[in-house]
């Protein structure tokens, strides 16, 4: 097949006609498919069902390690055994870890709200008093991160993503501005590109010298144990907190994680690991906000997993369910778009997304075509701050939730739509 950009007008017209026919056939199926959000499928959720039985009416001992009753008030930073579990997951020390209820997004929100209202260690004043406050946003990235930044009045500054993480030259340049208060990123199997930051990138993060004395790196390690190929190729990202502490810069780091995509989204746990000073500060904030997290649910998780090894065994089962879905997505993309020259995509080793970069100016049209034919995608632009993709090019595909049997047709429709949009675009320029 010829690449689209090499086709003549006539060839494009004939290609368009063919695509319109295929599109109509798909549309006639009356599909109702959704590959928009990174949601576990029911088979994945079923893996965690035994956890629900582990604290029950026959339980005799409701005490956690420090002697508190998990059914009653107290232990605002989480039960010790659960802090230890998350310390293993996030590669931090247990006394640097605070465990709450769901989710890491909620922790990010609370940390930002706290910094805006009260400031954090090192702050000369609450961030909210800095009218020109800015948040660095490596993009493509996670729409809900950007939305929190925007809600709290930050100017969102795009940083380019390279194959090994954010463009660190750019980051180092930007942080010379004292109104740049932080950066939000997903360091492993990033949302949506599945990029893992290289050791060199992490080391540069750990040694940043920002102008703002209270600059923070929000390190949302949402996919830290989410390898698709546990026995094969998988990524390793070192602990930013450990590296930053070696440089005496531990206060710069909040590492976040959760079990949202390990056990149950919204009925899982989240954790933040940080320096001793940050941890004490955030614990103090939490002690105003509530009188302890759901310790019963923390205990369920501890009894279910016991330790990191238990988590990894569980994630192996998750991978068995979702790996074929990722492979289907990649196979259809290759078959349908591989020779067209109108799209590039990643082949992630973990995480929850495949990110497709389409012909500039065709992402919105592709989403609209899919929607019209019964396939829901995340809105075009959503992977960029303010929902504005400067190239109208990047779309996020979330393979996990859709039934395996429906994914091929969903991806076929996606590909047809992307090709049709490209043909239309190119024809409009002829």
Q: Which residues of this protein are in contact with a second copy, per CB under 8 A?
A: 37, 39-40, 42, 45, 48-50, 52-53, 55-57, 59, 62, 69-74, 101-103, 105-106, 109-110, 113, 116-118, 128, 144, 147-148, 151-152, 260, 264-267, 288-297
Q: Minimum CB separation from a second copy for residue 56, in Å?
A: 5
Question: What's the sign of the alpha-carbon dihedral 146, 150, 152, 154?
Answer: positive
Rounded Cα distance between 159 and 330, Å, is 27
Q: Minimum CB separation from a second copy for residue 50, in Å?
A: 5
**Kind plus residue range of the DSSP H or E element containing 14:** helix 9-28
Looking at beta carbons only, is 300 or 425 nearer to a second copy? 300
Peptide bond into 342 cis (omega under 30): no
Coil, strand or helix: which one is 100? strand
Looking at beta carbons only, is 57 or 428 nearer to a second copy? 57
CA atoms within 13 A on the CB side of 181: 27
Place of tokens 């005496």: 248
Looking at beta carbons only, is 110 or 155 nearer to a second copy? 110
Looking at beta carbons only, is 117 or 176 nearer to a second copy? 117
Q: What is the CA radius of gyration of the chain?
A: 23
Nearest to 168 by CA among 194, 133, 213, 200: 200
> What number of H helices and E strands is found in the chain?
13, 13
Q: Minimum CB separation from a second copy for residue 258, in Å?
A: 11
Token pair listed for 82? 């659960």
Token pair listed for 306? 């016991």
Spatial neighbors of 238 by CB under 8 A, at least 6 apart, are 91, 199, 202, 203
Coil, strand or helix: which one is 357? strand
Looking at beta carbons only, is 106 or 347 nearer to a second copy? 106
How many other CB atoms sit within 10 Å of the CB of residue 304? 20
Q: Minimum CB separation from a second copy for residue 308, in Å?
A: 23
Q: Minimum CB separation from a second copy for residue 105, in Å?
A: 6
Q: Minimum CB separation from a second copy for residue 307, in Å?
A: 21
Looking at beta carbons only, is 197 or 401 nearer to a second copy? 401
Looking at beta carbons only, is 49 or 335 nearer to a second copy? 49
Q: Minimum CB separation from a second copy for residue 401, in Å?
A: 8
């Amino acid at each position: 097949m010829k690449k689209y950009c090499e086709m003549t007008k006539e060839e494009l017209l004939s290609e368009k006609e063919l695509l319109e026919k295929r599109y109509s056939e798909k549309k006639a199926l009356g599909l109702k498919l959704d590959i928009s959000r990174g949601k576990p499928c029911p088979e994945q959720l079923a893996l965690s069902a035994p956890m629900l039985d582990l604290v029950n009416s026959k339980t005799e001992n409701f005490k956690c390690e420090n002697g508190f009753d998990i059914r009653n008030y107290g232990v605002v930073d989480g039960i010790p055994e659960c802090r230890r579990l998350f310390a293993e997951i996030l590669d931090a020390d247990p006394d640097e870890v605070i465990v709450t209820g769901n989710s890491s997004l909620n922790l990010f929100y609370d940390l930002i709200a706290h910094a805006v209202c009260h400031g954090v260690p090192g702050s000369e004043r609450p961030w909210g008093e800095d009218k020109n406050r800015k948040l660095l946003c490596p993009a493509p990235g996670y729409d809900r991160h950007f939305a929190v930044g925007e809600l709290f009045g930050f100017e969102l500054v795009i940083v380019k993503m390279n194959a090994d993480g954010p463009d660190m030259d750019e980051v180092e340049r930007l942080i010379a501005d004292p109104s740049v208060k932080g950066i939000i990123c997903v360091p492993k199997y990033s949302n949506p590109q599945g990029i893992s930051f290289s050791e060199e990138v992490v080391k540069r993060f750990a040694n940043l010298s920002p102008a703002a004395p209270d600059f923070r790196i929000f390190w949302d390690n949402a996919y830290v144990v989410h390898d698709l190929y546990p026995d094969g190729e998988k990524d390793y990202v070192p602990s930013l907190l450990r590296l930053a502490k070696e440089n005496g810069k531990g206060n710069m780091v909040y590492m976040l994680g959760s079990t949202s995509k390990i056990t149950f989204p919204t009925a899982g746990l989240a954790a933040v690991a940080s320096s001793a000073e940050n941890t004490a500060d955030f614990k103090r904030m939490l002690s105003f906000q509530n009188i302890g997290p759901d310790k019963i649910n923390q205990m369920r998780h501890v009894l279910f997993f016991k330790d990191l090894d238990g988590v990894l065994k569980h994630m192996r089962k998750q991978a068995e369910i979702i790996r074929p879905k990722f492979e289907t997505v990649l196979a259809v993309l290759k078959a349908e778009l591989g020779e067209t020259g109108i799209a590039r995509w990643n082949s992630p080793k973990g995480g929850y997304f495949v990110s497709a970069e389409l012909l500039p100016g065709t992402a919105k049209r592709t989403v609209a075509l899919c929607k019209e034919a019964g396939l829901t995608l995340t809105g075009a632009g959503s992977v960029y701050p303010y929902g504005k993709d400067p190239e109208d090019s990047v779309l996020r595909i979330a393979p996990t939730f859709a039934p395996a049997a429906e994914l091929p047709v969903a991806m076929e429709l996606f590909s047809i739509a992307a090709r049709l949009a490209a043909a239309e675009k190119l024809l409009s320029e002829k």
